[in-house]
């Protein structure tokens, strides 16, 4: 069993500029980094190297997604606009004013989509059993006609559509555990029963008015979008129960050939953009559950594509925990003080969380 790993130095060069969080630099507040700065992801990669994990992983080189690959998901207008703004010395914005990119940002966005695609291909052709594509910019909010929420192109969706172009019968389940709703992935596969899109997210966080249980796909895709909107404050107990009660039975019912996980670590207890409480041990345990069901239904095939996660010091710990579980390589980088968070009261499953899961199960016949 081998685990693939994608990283490219240029992912760290994707330039979101100076902002005070989301505010443009101005006299309102001292300019700082944009939330989606390189820090958390570059430091995740550093820890993969320095922990010794990298030596046990199979490095997969990303390629640049072709126009044809991007156009399976996005409109020609979106692609043309990103390319045009990318030529400007000042760069541009992917669509909503919060998704800036620098000069030549198109090239890095295409390399992110290509990194997800390379990881998926390596898993499907058997080069590796599973893989983690640590790409940047992220992708799960990007819609066919526009980027949004720090995303330019829909990396995971582009990878899946590319794989389906070669294997039209390919069945996929996406399990998005980023704290925000995976609206872009949901939209791409809205009418498509071949791809079951599941999103676990904080109820009502981002995008606005998105990620409700009532969103379930339409036409032939009716029932193949599955939202699990968890209440703010949910920790390992609620997330693991959602995995056991919703995700595992839904995966067994769909019988995918591969599981794709848009993986953000912004549901962690240290994240500045989420209000959830998942710990590194929680992410490891969620990974274990996915690996067990994947072993049963799809020979263990799992591809994770990196999304959000904004704690510069905790994202690396969560990421390395997931990679350690995926690869079976023991890595123990967690300081005992961090482990005290595994025992906090918010880690326990609550009746409110159980009631949400009851409704999700009832709505989807699980």
| Cβ-Cβ contacts under 8 Å for 176 (sequence gap 6 or more) | 140, 182, 185, 197, 198, 199, 200, 201, 261, 262, 264, 307
Q: Which of residues 127-146 bind ligand 3YP (CB under 6 A)?
A: 141
Decide if residue 98 touches ligand 3YP (CB under 6 A).
Answer: yes
CB of residue 207 vs ligand 3YP: minimum separation in angstroms?
8
Q: Is 92 near ligand 3YP (CB under 6 A)?
A: no
Among 101, 206, 270, 283, binds ligand 3YP (CB under 6 A): 206
Q: Which does 101 bind (CB under 5 to 8 A by kind): ligand 3YP, Zn ion, none?
A: none
Lateral strand order in the sheet of 195-202? 58-59, 3-6, 130-133, 302-306, 258-263, 172-176, 195-202, 225-230
Q: Could you tell me the smallest distance in angstroms from the CB atom of residue 342 to ligand 3YP? A: 24
Q: Which of 95, 105, 139, 149 binds ligand 3YP (CB under 6 A)?
A: 149
264 contributes a contact to ligand 3YP by CB under 6 A = yes
Q: Which is nearer to Zn ion, 264 or 319 (CB)?
A: 264
Whole-number minimum distance, CB 273 to ligand 3YP, in Å? 6
Give the contacts of 341 (CB within 8 A, at least 6 positions apart). Answer: 269, 277, 279, 347
Alpha carbons within 13 A on the beta-carbon side of 294: 26
* Min CB(138)–ligand 3YP separation in Å: 6
Binding residues for ligand 3YP restricted to 162-201, rule: CB under 6 A? 178, 180
Q: Does 34 bind ligand 3YP (CB under 6 A)?
A: no
Report the interface residues with Zn ion, using CB under 5 A.
178, 180, 264, 266, 308
Interface pattern 288-327 for ligand 3YP (x via CB under 6 A):
-------------------xx-------------------
Is 266 near ligand 3YP (CB under 6 A)? yes
Which residues belong to the active site? 141
CA distance 40 to 119: 21
Q: Which residues contribute to the site for ligand 3YP (CB under 6 A)?
A: 98, 141, 149-150, 178, 180, 206, 264, 266, 273, 307-308
């Amino acid at each position: 069993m081998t685990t693939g790993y994608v990283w490219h130095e240029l992912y760290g060069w994707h330039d979101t500029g100076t902002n005070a969080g989301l505010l443009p630099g101005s006299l309102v507040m001292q300019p700082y980094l944009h939330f989606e700065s390189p820090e958390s992801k570059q430091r995740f990669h550093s820890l993969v190297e320095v922990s010794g994990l990298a030596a046990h992983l199979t490095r997969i080189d990303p390629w640049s997604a072709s126009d044809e690959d991007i156009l399976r998901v996005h409109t020609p207008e979106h692609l043309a606009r990103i390319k045009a703004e990318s030529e400007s010395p000042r760069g541009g914005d992917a669509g909503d004013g919060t998704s800036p990119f620098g000069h030549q940002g198109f090239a890095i966005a295409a390399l992110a989509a290509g990194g997800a695609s390379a990881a998926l291909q390596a898993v499907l052709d058997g080069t590796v059993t599973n893989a983690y594509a640590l790409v940047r910019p992220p992708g799960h909010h990007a819609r066919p006609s526009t980027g949004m929420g720090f995303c330019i192109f829909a990396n995971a969706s582009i990878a899946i559509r590319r794989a389906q172009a070669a294997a039209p019968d390919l069945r996929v389940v996406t399990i998005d555990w980023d704290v925000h709703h995976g609206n872009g992935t949901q939209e791409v596969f809205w009418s498509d029963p071949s791809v079951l899109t599941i999103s676990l997210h904080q109820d009502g966080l981002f995008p606005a008015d998105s990620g409700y249980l009532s969103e379930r796909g339409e036409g032939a895709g009716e029932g193949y979008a599955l939202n699990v909107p968890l209440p703010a404050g949910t920790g390992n107990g609620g997330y693991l129960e959602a995995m056991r009660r919703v995700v595992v039975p839904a995966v067994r019912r769909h019988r995918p050939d591969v599981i794709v996980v848009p993986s953000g670590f912004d549901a962690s207890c240290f994240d500045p953009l989420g209000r959830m409480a998942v710990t590194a041990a929680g992410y490891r345990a969620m990974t274990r559950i996915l690996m067990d069901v994947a072993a049963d239904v799809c020979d263990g095939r799992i591809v994770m594509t990196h999304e959000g996660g904004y704690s510069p010091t905790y994202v690396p710990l969560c990421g390395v925990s997931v990679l350690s579980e995926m690869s079976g390589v023991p890595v123990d980088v967690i300081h005992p003080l961090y482990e005290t968070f595994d025992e906090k009261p918010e880690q326990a499953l609550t009746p409110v969380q159980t009631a949400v899961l009851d409704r999700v199960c009832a709505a989807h016949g699980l």
